[in-house]
Structure 1
Amino acid sequence: MPRKPKTTEPEAMTVEAAPEAARGAKTAAIRAAVKANPKKGPSEIADLLKAQGWDVKPQNVSVVKSAMKAKKKAKKAAAAPAPEAGPVVPKDAVSVGLLVKAKKLVKELGGVTEAKAALNALAQLLD
């Protein structure tokens, strides 16, 4: 297939619309209106913004509103990570610190049998 011949005519210049407001200004206005009126629907917010001079459709409001919700959910999920599961310890497990205290008690009372007797007496007093 042969190539098309080049034309000597100048290329058409693309005409860009003059920016009426800074980039993102409409989105910022929608966000502010949604924050100020959280109970109102997209069409009501669009009407409020049209009264202020913004060219906004309810679909624009819906898109911005859902993006705000998505960011909020992502923030919540990142803020509250799931707790890590530690080692499973049985209820009747004894820690090293408790064993050291028990050893001191046995030493003070003169032996294991004396310590058992003292603990049995204490259990009867507590009941």
Structure 2
Amino acid sequence: MSAVDPAATLQQLAFNADGLVPAIAQQFDTGEVLMMAWMNREAVAETLATGRVCYWSRSRQGLWRKGETSGQQQRLVDFLIDCDGDTILLKVDQDGVACHTGRRTCFYTAARPDGLTEVAMVQVSPEELYKK
């Protein structure tokens, strides 16, 4: 996706009381849902301007440029806003794994009749991912 002036987009978003909006990352070519994270105004503006996805880390209280430490970055393919303006769908091209656990997706636990089951295996150990 080419760089986009974020001004009009930011006006359409309904940020919550903490100044955040949920963002769902989806692999553009397969439709696989990779993760959900939060974005503030600055993260949205940076993502649209650079084409590299940036989130707001609530735990670190700062911008989180996906892949900054792991190398598993997301390139923006499309930026979609839901009908209420309170959720973003990011269609991305994900390098490697999206989850900090080393799985392709953060959605790897499924509710089954016999209990919770992990349905996606670790592809990269977290130690290797973050060089701990």
> Could you say whether these structures have the same fold, taking a TM-score greater than 0.5 normalized by the shorter chain as the test?
no
TM-score, length-normalised on structure 1?
0.19
Larger RCO (CA within 8 A; separation ≥ 6)? 2
Answer 1 or 2: which has greater helix percent: 1
TM-score, length-normalised on structure 2?
0.18
Q: Report the structure number with the largest CA radius of gyration.
A: 1
Answer 1 or 2: which has greater strand percent: 2
